[in-house]
Amino acid sequence: MSTKPQMIEPKGMGPGFWPVMIGLTILNVAIAAVILYTPLDWILPEEWNPVADRAADIDMLFKFMGVFGSAIMVYVAGFVLYAAVAFRRRAGEPSDSVGVQLHDAPKLEFWWTVIPTALLIVLVVLTVQVWHRIQFGTVAPALTTEVVAHQFNFEIRYPDWQGSVFSPPGEMHLPVGKPVRILVTSADVIHQFWVPEFRLKAAAVPGLVQNLNLTPIRTGTFDIACSEYCGVNHSKMQGKVVVESPEAFERWLAGERAHATTAASVSLGGGDAAAGKTLFAQKCAVCHAVAPFEQKIVGPGLLHLTDDPKHPKLVDGKPPTAANIAEILQNGYTGDIGAMPNRQANGLSDKDIANLVAYLASLK
């Protein structure tokens, strides 16, 4: 025996519709007020006092999406809950009764199509504008810096200067108030250059150069993070960007240039192998094992640096003399098997180099 399901006739908007509508609207206004008028530093660092013009742009997009996205979420979720409660099966209704069947509400369908479409069109226009500013800048850059990501540091280069700054421990310096173009690429695997306070992030991909354009608008020191998993020491791949006055920036750059040109020859006499061993553990062991050449971490194992019949030459093709080892420690190395930062980047004094050479020569 089957009975025909009983149809329930619509009775207006349902109980409590307008109070619920007013409640959800008040909630949306409150959420919008929080997004627009309270500091959001807990999710957007320095939001209240932007560090760069692009940071303000990105935050504007975030707030636009936050206000309208949260409104859509609150209304949709709110009315789903409302409908579940207001139109639940009541005591005494047959268990197979069917709820109100509504079809063809053209007015409703028109507005729920037009409003989200209009919001998305506005969002596309705003987003493309911001993207264009990031890609091409709004004015010609006063300074171009290059970021070359390596496992596991950021090499930072400046124009008219042959040297590089590596981070860690080096820092990217930028003059405040000057439009800067940052070019980002990678020497090995895919990394990602990210400065949260700038709200800018670029994948560092071998063979591809990406553009970031911004003007830092206040001074300070901010973190650089690698935000793409790139290998065992990904989490250590961090640096700093120092935004300072143009005068301080010029002083720093002049100092780095002078440092690079005075790094010529190091006296290797009196190198202390024991001190070199300690230093190796601190500075070198992240990338080099005291093991045969083939046991690479990032760079080759250095156990038989001076007496390996299979590798009679250093990676730069020179014989493994103390002076040639010291030369690589001073200048760094870039070649087929990878790249190693120079002495400034590794923070090596003349004495450190002498001690490391003595230690490396003792590994037999």
Rounded-to-integer distance, Cα 77 and Cα 79, Å: 6
As beta bridge partners, residue 340 has 333
- Interacting residues with ligand CUA between 306 and 325 (CB under 6 A): none
If binding is defined by CB under 6 A, does position 226 make contact with ligand CUA? yes
- State the Cα–Cα distance between residues 149 and 348, nearest whole angstrom: 21
Q: Minimum distance from CB of 329 to ligand CUA (Å)? A: 23
Backbone phi, psi, residue 246, to 5°: -55, -35
Stretch that binds ligand CUA, among 18-26, 65-73, 112-120, 225-233 (CB under 6 A): 225-233
230 binds ligand CUA (CB under 6 A): yes
- Region near ligand CUA per CB under 6 A, out of 12-20, 39-47, 170-178, 226-234: 226-234
Q: Which is nearer to ligand CUA, 292 or 338 (CB)?
A: 338
If one asks whether residue 234 binds ligand CUA (CB under 6 A), the answer comes out as: yes
Query: Tell me, what DSSP letter sits at residue 88?
Result: P
Interface stretch with ligand CUA, choices 52-60, 105-113, 230-238, 257-265 (CB under 6 A)? 230-238
- Under the criterion CB under 6 A, does residue 201 sit at the interface with ligand CUA? no
What distance lies between CA 245 and its chain's CA centroid? 24
What span, in angstroms and rounded, lies between the C-alpha atoms of 204 and 58?
A: 20
Distance in Å, CB of 196 to ligand CUA, minimum: 15
Tell me: does residue 237 bind ligand CUA (CB under 6 A).
Answer: yes
Label the pairing between strands 171-175 and 238-244.
parallel
From 159-167, 224-232, 295-303, 337-345, give the range in contact with ligand CUA by CB under 6 A. 224-232
The answer to whether 263 and 343 have CB atoms below 8 angstroms apart is yes
Q: How many residues bind ligand CUA (CB under 6 A)?
A: 9
Identity of the residue, 57 or 228, whose beta carbon is nearer to ligand CUA in the bound complex:
228
CA distance 337 to 349: 26
Nearer to ligand CUA, 24 or 230 (CB): 230
Distance CA 322, CA 306 (A): 9
Beta bridge partners of 216: 52
Stretch that binds ligand CUA, among 24-32, 90-98, 167-175, 222-230 (CB under 6 A): 222-230
Nearer to ligand CUA, 234 or 343 (CB): 234
CA 141 to chain centre: 22
State the residue for tokens 């007013």.
22
- Distance, CA of 222 to CA of 46 (rounded, Å): 10
CB-wise, 201 or 326, nearer to ligand CUA? 201
**155 binding ligand CUA? (CB under 6 A):** no
Q: How far is the CB of 191 from ligand CUA (least distance, A)?
A: 3
Find out whether 197 and 217 touch, Cβ atoms under 8 Å: no
Host H or E run for residue 37: helix 17-37
256 binds ligand CUA, rule: CB under 6 A: no
With CB under 6 A as the contact rule, the residue among 46, 155, 171, 228 that binds ligand CUA is 228
* Closer to ligand CUA by Cβ: residue 164 or 330: 164
Choose between 192 and 215: whose C-beta lies nearer to ligand CUA: 192
Whole-angstrom distance, CA of residue 58 vs CA of residue 338: 36
149 binds ligand CUA (CB under 6 A): yes
Residue whose CB is less far from ligand CUA, 182 or 237:
237
CB atoms within 10 A of CB 133: 15
**Identified binder of ligand CUA from the candidate list 100, 129, 229, 318, rule CB under 6 A:** 229
Q: In this structure, are strands 143-150 and 180-186 parallel, antiparallel, or unpaired?
A: parallel
Quote the tokens at residue 110.
């028109």
Minimum distance, C-beta of residue 225 to ligand CUA, in the bound complex (Å): 8
Indicate the SS3 state at residue 192: strand
Which residues in this chain contact ligand CUA in the complex, by CB under 6 A?
A: 149, 152, 191, 226, 228-230, 234, 237
